Structure 1
Amino acid sequence: MSTDDRIILLAHGDGGRLTHELVTQLFFKHLGNRTLEMLTDAAALTVGEGRIAVTTDSFVIDPPFFPGGDIGKLAVCGTINDLAVSGARPRYLTAAFLIEEGLPLEDLERIVASMAQTCNEAGVQVVAGDTKVVQRGHLDKIFINTTGVGEIPPDVDLGYHRIAQGDVLLVNGTLGEHGMAVLAAREGFGLEDQVQSDCAALHEITARLLEDLGEDVRLMRDLTRGGFATSVKEIAVSAQCDIWISEGDVPVSPNTRGAAEMLGVDPMYLANEGKFLAIVSPGKAERALAALKEHPLGREARIVGEVRSGQGNVYLKTLLGGTKYLDLLAGAPLPRIC
């Protein structure tokens, strides 16, 4: 952070440039260690003769109920997905609830029941939790903090260090739907029936990709805050490579694209909660695409770009034949998205 940034802004929580500066220049300054500074979706830890993945997340989404989901489903799926893209099999969750005085019990039960259903469908359990209630006006409805624990198979090795020139980027489906659905619900634009959040647990589709391709999967990332573009830029910087994206190959549904054009936002920077990016070796790209398309969450999967030598730049080949840079999200077009 620059010396002029003396207060926390909403943009510090959007997953973009200010978030990156906050983490690297403040949190790493005091809490940094080799594991934390890898900036992966989950920490891979050795326990005995095996490895586990551990991740933690907080969910403050506004509104807590939105087209396609709610904060309870989101908390479970978001935590599972951080484990899944790290190559882990999700096993256990913890859940801490911060509740504002005055929240209807009916709403709380609806949220907890949604969490339970999502856990049951995913085969995970909530094994520990906590509840705190604060005075009316000291919090906005409900926040949920989760921790997830999963098992990492012994043959899984994912990371920035494995990315090489010629590798291919794929996404499992259309982008921007979660961000657009929440924006529509929050602002009342009348688009609620047109765009639904993509909120879903990704562990089965990521496991299938790993089973089919094995070590030819270099890296996976879920595309939450800051969206696709921010994630790709972070990967390019961390792996010290350049990445080229073809705009015509990036999948966006007609409803999301139309709503985004009307509201002046870019779907590539909108949050997703059921989409992930995979980087695979060049000779396995078509096989990876076929594996993704066999799963219900991957029917709209696409090959979207490739890795080239470079110094951390991301280039977008536009539909008009030009080229432009993609950078980290700057500003907060939609705070409290997850």
Structure 2
Amino acid sequence: MSRKEQTITLAHGAGGGAMHALIDELFLTAFGDGPLLQKEDQARLPLADLLARGDRLALTTDSFVVSPLEFPGGDIGKLAVCGTLNDLAVGGAMPLYLSAAFIIEEGLPLVLLERLVGSMAEAAREAGVSIVTGDTKVVERGMADKLFINTTGVGVIPAGLSLSIGSARPGDQVLVNGHVGDHGAAVMLAREDLGLVGELASDCAGLHELIQPVLAQCSGVRCLRDATRGGLGGVLSEIAGASEVGIRLIERELPIRPQTLALCELLGLEPLFLANEGMTAMVICPEQAEQALALWRGHPLGRHARIIGEVLAPSSPGRLSLLTPYGGERLLEVPHGLQLPRIC
């Protein structure tokens, strides 16, 4: 059997020679790092590295079940790294380490798994983080959809930094660094069952290098949230509710690609609730909004950054609204369920 025809079998998860060969030849080769190569049941990390960078440890975990596994602009491997690192970054943490656990369905082509693991390794290297421990499990056909990945990220928060979704105040400005809904739209177009064709690509990217300079130079940052499931509208609704304020967006300032708007009109979706994987929303005091905007626009991931709205006095706590180009105001309500499942 040629290598292109080889698939994952139950033997690859049975603890024998096939499993050890898969781990050594694929995962250790791709992720090879000091702690991982020790082949212990845990990663042993030097405390000095953590204590030298801050005074608090940040820990996050996430699972990725996106369908399809590969899509324009990314794949489940890149998504697993960037999504986890971004959860750390929006809390102000500098990401350092990742764990990775793989649930693999019997029959997954080996060459596909190699591509996805390679993509994951490349994303980690570009972000300057190490994948230091992990796990693999193989399940029977029909027990999973090809591949699921769980990642846990560890980072350190600098002393004196405190971000919270409950800290937004009236007058604060709302910024985003990129186009709304790119990831959700790209994944929709990649699904063969929808029969749609387009040129949109996911915005999947690690955001910590975009975020860190703003946090270092702007003391008025209240909070940051990456707009993944639920999209920009979802995270801003969470901020408004937690802070007991209202948030009003300005429709003409929203950076939405025409292709995304057209797709949403075709399918009856609200682009503000489509997922992103390389966009964050920031709430910042009005005096520093322009400074933060300039910093973002100086970074490749922030070229399309804009101030898109403001925080309002809490006459209607948790209210999220949209100011239309005609001067009217439309209430934005978070959908009861996902507009599109299996998006990340």
* TM-score, length basis structure 1: 0.83
Are residues 1:247 and 2:251 paired?
yes
Task: Report if the CA contact (8 A) 2:165-2:238 is conserved.
Answer: no
* TM-score, length basis structure 2: 0.82
**Deviation sequence 1:48-96 (CA, Å, 0-9, x none):** x820111000000000000110000000000000001110000000000
C-alpha distance in 1 between matches for 2:168 and 2:51? 23
Are residues 1:274 and 2:278 paired?
yes
1:293-332 map, 5 Å: 293-310=297-314, 311-332=317-338
2:91 is paired with a residue whose SS is coil
CA shift, 1:46, in A, is 10
Show structure 2 runs of 5+ residues with no match: 1-49
**Matched letter for residue 268 of structure 1:** L
CA shift, 1:331, in A, is 2.6
Quote the sequence identity (%). 53
Task: Report if the CA contact (8 A) 2:252-2:325 is conserved.
Answer: yes
2:296 corresponds to? 292
Task: Report if the CA contact (8 A) 2:166-2:239 is conserved.
Answer: no
Show structure 1 runs of 5+ residues with no match: 1-44
**Matched letter for residue 315 of structure 1:** S
1:121 is paired with a residue whose SS is helix
Are residues 1:126 and 2:131 paired?
yes
Task: Report if the CA contact (8 A) 1:212-1:291 is conserved.
Answer: no
C-alpha distance in 2 between matches for 1:174 and 1:190? 24
1:7 corresponds to? none
C-alpha distance in 2 between matches for 1:111 and 1:245? 37
- The structure-2 alpha-carbon separation of the partners of 1:176 and 1:111, relative to structure 1 and needing over 3 Å to count, comes to same
Aligned length: 293
1:94 corresponds to? 99
**Deviation sequence 1:156-198 (CA, Å, 0-9, x none):** 1111343211111000011101000000101465655510000
Higher alpha-carbon deviation: 235-244 or 307-316: 307-316
Structure of greater Rg: 2
1:176 corresponds to? 181
CA shift, 1:320, in A, is 3.1
**Deviation sequence 1:229-287 (CA, Å, 0-9, x none):** 11111111111111111111111012222222222222111000000000110111111
**Matched letter for residue 73 of structure 1:** K
1:142 corresponds to? 147
Higher alpha-carbon deviation: 162-171 or 145-154: 162-171
- From 232, 235, 239, the counterpart of 1:231: 235
C-alpha distance in 2 between matches for 1:137 and 1:96? 19
Task: Report if the CA contact (8 A) 2:189-2:198 is conserved.
Answer: no
**Deviation sequence 1:194-229 (CA, Å, 0-9, x none):** 10000000010010211221x211100000001011
**Deviation sequence 1:94-141 (CA, Å, 0-9, x none):** 000000000011111111000000000000011110100000011110
Please, what is the CA RMSD of the aligned residues?
Answer: 1.9
Task: Report if the CA contact (8 A) 1:181-1:192 is conserved.
Answer: no
CA shift, 1:154, in A, is 0.6
1:133 is paired with a residue whose SS is strand
Task: Report if the CA contact (8 A) 2:178-2:301 is conserved.
Answer: yes
- The structure-2 alpha-carbon separation of the partners of 1:242 and 1:337, relative to structure 1 and needing over 3 Å to count, comes to same
1:180 is paired with a residue whose SS is helix
2:191 is paired with a residue whose SS is helix
**Deviation sequence 1:309-337 (CA, Å, 0-9, x none):** 11221121123321121122223321000
C-alpha distance in 2 between matches for 1:184 and 1:65? 12
Task: Report if the CA contact (8 A) 2:181-2:231 is conserved.
Answer: yes
**Matched letter for residue 324 of structure 2:** T
1:1-338 map, 5 Å: 50-187=55-192, 193-213=198-218, 215-310=219-314, 311-338=317-344
Q: Which runs of 4+ in 1 moved over 4 A?
A: 188-193
